[in-house]
């Protein structure tokens, strides 16, 4: 585990930075992601998440203790799933897809905001040792949000991507995925821990990073800043 390795190496700066990054994910980014699901479902007619107190930015309403622990120890975790009742949607498939899409979109919007603020900082703050921590914070903020969005868009149950693709897949394929979801996800976890998916995820993250930072810097380039 990375924590034990950092302690053995005496690298307390890396340990502190790592814990701060995971705290950011657990108490800020994941709650926003889950709030986006609840908000989308509510707007589309399903008030289940609202009635259960999930239409909130309060991290305690979203954090899953075991998921948070796994995230810190292994870099792979989860929050409490937002309850959704598709029978309240006018179109069940479309409603589920839009509700699922809201989570990754919220991460991409946060990454876009972070990249925009990064460009603003580059205009007003010197890039030196004194302000380096601020630049690192925004870099981590951007990259983590992009990673969360890309990962959740994978079309594998129970990730958001599976709900999105379900809107265009035949019912028999959706039935198959739902039936074997409890087997598919552990296989996915093994592939992640083994590093087999690292190459694919890295390429997807690079593309998303280039797109987000390119859009965020466009106003500055247009005005020659």
Instruction: Give pLDDT tens digits for 106-123.
Output: 999 999 999 999 999 888
**What pLDDT, on the 0 to 100 scale, is given for residue 67?**
83
Q: Are 112 and 174 in contact (CB under 8 A)?
A: no
For residue 79, what is the DSSP state?
B
Q: Distance between CA atoms of 79 and 28, rounded to whole angstroms?
A: 12
Candidate list 32, 34, 84, 110, residue with the active-site label: 34
Specify burial of residue 160 (Cβ count, 10 A radius: 0-12, 13-18, 19+).
Answer: buried
pLDDT on residue 11: 65
Q: How many domains does the chain divide into? A: 1
In a domain, 11, yes or no: no
Quick check: is 144 in a domain? yes
In a domain, 159, yes or no: yes
Residue 133 included in any domain: yes
Q: Where are the beta strands (DSSP E) in 27-149?
A: none
| Average pLDDT value for the chain | 85
Catalytic: 181?
no
Sign of CA dihedral 106, 199, 74, 24: negative
Amino acid 178: pLDDT:
72
Question: pLDDT at position 17, please?
Answer: 73
* Whole-number pLDDT of residue 20: 81
Helix (H) or strand (E) holding 73: helix 65-74
Residue 6 within any structural domain of the chain: no
pTM summary value: 0.88
Domain assignment of residue 109, given as a range: 17-222
Per-residue model confidence (pLDDT) at position 1: 56
Residue 213 lies in a domain: yes
2 lies in a domain?
no
Distance CA 44, CA 115 (A): 30
Per-residue pLDDT tens over the stretch 2-41: 555 655 666 676 767 777 878 888 898 999 999 999 999 9
**Cα 128 to Cα 126: distance, rounded to the nearest angstrom:** 6
Q: Of the candidates 38, 42, 153, which has an alpha carbon nearest to the alpha carbon of residue 104?
A: 153
In a domain, 137, yes or no: yes
């Amino acid at each position: 585990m990375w924590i034990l390795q950092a302690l053995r190496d005496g690298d307390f700066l890396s340990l502190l930075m790592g814990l701060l990054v995971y705290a950011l994910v657990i108490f800020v980014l994941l709650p926003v992601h889950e709030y986006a699901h609840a908000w989308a479902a509510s707007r589309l007619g399903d008030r289940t998440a609202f009635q259960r107190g999930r239409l909130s930015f309060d991290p305690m309403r979203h954090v899953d203790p075991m998921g948070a622990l796994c995230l810190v120890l292994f870099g792979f975790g989860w929050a409490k799933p937002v309850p959704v009742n598709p029978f309240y949607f006018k179109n069940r498939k479309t409603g589920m897809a839009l509700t699922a899409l809201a989570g990754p979109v919220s991460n991409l919007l946060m990454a876009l905001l972070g990249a925009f603020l990064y460009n603003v900082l580059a205009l007003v703050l010197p890039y030196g040792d004194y302000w380096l921590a601020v630049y690192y914070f925004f870099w981590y903020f951007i990259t983590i949000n992009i990673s969360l969005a890309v990962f959740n868009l994978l079309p594998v149950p129970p990730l958001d991507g599976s709900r999105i693709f379900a809107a265009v897949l035949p019912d028999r394929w959706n039935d198959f995925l739902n039936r074997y979801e409890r087997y598919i996800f552990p296989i996915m976890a093994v592939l992640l821990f083994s590093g087999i998916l690292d190459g694919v995820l890295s390429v997807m993250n690079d593309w998303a990073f280039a797109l987000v930072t390119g859009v965020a810097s466009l106003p500055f380039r247009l005005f020659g800043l």
